[in-house]
Amino acid sequence: MALKEKTVAGSLWETVKTVVSALLIAGVFRTLFFQPFWIPSGSMKETLLIGDFLFVNKMVYGYSYASCPSLILPRFGVNIDAKNICGALDNDNTRLFAGTPKRGDVVVFRHPVSGRDYIKRLIGLPGDRVQIQGGIVLINGAPVKQTAAGNFAEVMEPQGPERKRPRCANRPVGDGGDCLKARAVETLPEGSQHVVLDIGPQASDRTGVYTVPDGHFFFMGDNRDNSADSRLPQQVGGVGFVPFENLIGRADRIVFSSAGRSMLFFWTWRSDRFFKKIQ
């Protein structure tokens, strides 16, 4: 009997060690190499759609306190922030093995105030003067080229787990109708191209000049009229200028995509987006 109890205890201990080892390996992998990211909003359409799942390359920009994982699940009262783990490395705006972010990169970063993860496109580098006039981005006084490319169309219906409805240029649109946005190809000064969407005139289409401070970056969403980004200060819901240390990594490729409320709803999978390169 004692031998049986010892065998059961040994098996239980081996199971515990296996689980702990797996969690440690997963934690190290997520901290040092790639972090999973699920797209919850439409601010980066059409480049990224609600329900796209991707891994963020954390090696490309090196490591800072923001490289430590966060786990925020308000529904379950879980709020483990990167600062709780690596807060001692915060506020020096430096990185270990630092790589240089490039204009046009799609970047996941920590919001400077809330600490939540955001994903946007890098538009302004340190020292740049960025302005928006008539919906056109000006970088250091030179307008960024935009070429009209038809319309982006999606079905008017609740999207993703949050069940948000898209905004449309041809509003009002009833359920099941085609929600349209003007589509253009934007070419950045270095030559990289990406698609941007336009819903219509609004205040953020006309701004003053933003001078990007040293060690900071200016980000915008590709869905220009539906993005809280560097055009708005942090105090009113934007992200303002983002410090270098807040960058988590670069998004290079979509791994999986689901248009439904859950990734388990296989009938809503977008197979044409699996392993799609992010431009």
152 is a domain residue: no
Containing 248, the helix (H) or strand (E) segment is strand 247-257
60 is a domain residue: yes
Q: How many domains does the chain have?
A: 1
183 is a domain residue: no
4 is a domain residue: no
175 is a domain residue: no
d(CA 102, CA 105): 6
Residues with catalytic roles = 43, 120
Parent domain of 246: 33-145+207-273
Q: Are 249 and 60 in contact (CB under 8 A)?
A: yes
d(CA 238, CA 240): 6
Q: Is 13 exposed, middle or buried (0-12, 13-18, 19+ CB in 10 A)?
A: exposed
Confidence of residue 76 (pLDDT cuts 50, 70, 90): low
Kindly report, residue by residue over 96-122, the tens digit of the pLDDT.
888 999 999 999 999 988 888 999 999
42 is a domain residue: yes
pLDDT value at 17 more than 60: no
120 is a domain residue: yes
Reading the block at residue 271, the tokens are 């197979």
163 is a domain residue: no
pTM of the predicted model as reported, rounded to 2 decimal places: 0.85
Say which CATH number the domain at 85 has. Answer: 2.10.109.10
d(CA 167, CA 227): 11
The whole-number pLDDT of residue 89 equals: 63
In one letter, which amino acid is 14? E
d(CA 96, CA 70): 19
210-211 and 178-187: which strand pairing? unpaired
Kindly report, residue by residue over 196-234, the tens digit of the pLDDT.
999 999 999 999 999 999 999 999 999 999 999 999 988
Confidence of residue 28 (pLDDT cuts 50, 70, 90): very low
Q: Are 152 and 46 in contact (CB under 8 A)?
A: yes
